[in-house]
Structure 1
Amino acid sequence: MYTYKTKGTCSTEINFEVEDNIIKEVNFIRGCSGNLQGISALIKGMNVDDAIDKLEGIDCKGKGTSCPDQLAKALKEWKNK
């Protein structure tokens, strides 16, 4: 399980597991529960690179980031570890 501390969003942390470059599990701490459960369900089983491509750059209310964008950043950090 990999943990990423978010910046600039209502969620404070993202915990996820990747196996063979496929997302196995994603859990957000805090934030909009229903929306984040939906995002987690949609990307489960997705290739890491495809998830980054789909989520990176999504903005929430002009903050310059969002929970999906933070997940893309977390996945990129995981790839570069």
Structure 2
Amino acid sequence: MLYTYQPKGVCSTEITFEIADGVVKNVKFTGGCRGNLTAISRLLEGLPAQEVISKMKGITCRPSGASCADQLACALEKAINS
């Protein structure tokens, strides 16, 4: 299933991804640091969603206390719990 998430407090404006059988696929960020976010997307491809959440949750890069990686973890949690 395809999910879309509007991150808060970060440079990216949208995160889309799929979760199939608990595995993360096709992560795409709109906006933000293109190189870093492309690398994150490629590195996470095929990993279990719970593993991605545990690795990314709580990473910060802005005074807001968030990062695009942290917001992806929030998006995955929301998708899993919905």
How far apart are residue 57 of structure 1 and its match? Answer: 0.0
Q: Distance in 2 between matches of 1:61 and 1:2?
A: 25
How many residues are aligned here? 81
Match of 1:4 in 2: 5
Trace 1:1-81 onto structure 2 (pairs within 5 A).
1-81=2-82
Q: Percent identity?
A: 49
How far apart are residue 63 of structure 1 and its match? Answer: 2.3
Q: Distance in 1 between matches of 2:12 and 2:5?
A: 11
Given that residues 10 and 62 in structure 2 are in contact (C-alpha distance below 8 angstroms), is that contact kept between their aligned partners in structure 1?
no
How far apart are residue 24 of structure 1 and its match? Answer: 1.4
Q: Would you identify which runs of 4 or more consecutive aligned residues in structure 1 move more than 6 Å?
A: none
Query: Match of 2:12, SS?
Result: coil
| Gap regions ≥5 residues in structure 2 | none
Q: Calculate the TM-score normalised by the size of structure 1.
A: 0.97
Aligned amino acid, residue 45 of structure 1: G
Q: CA RMSD in A?
A: 0.7
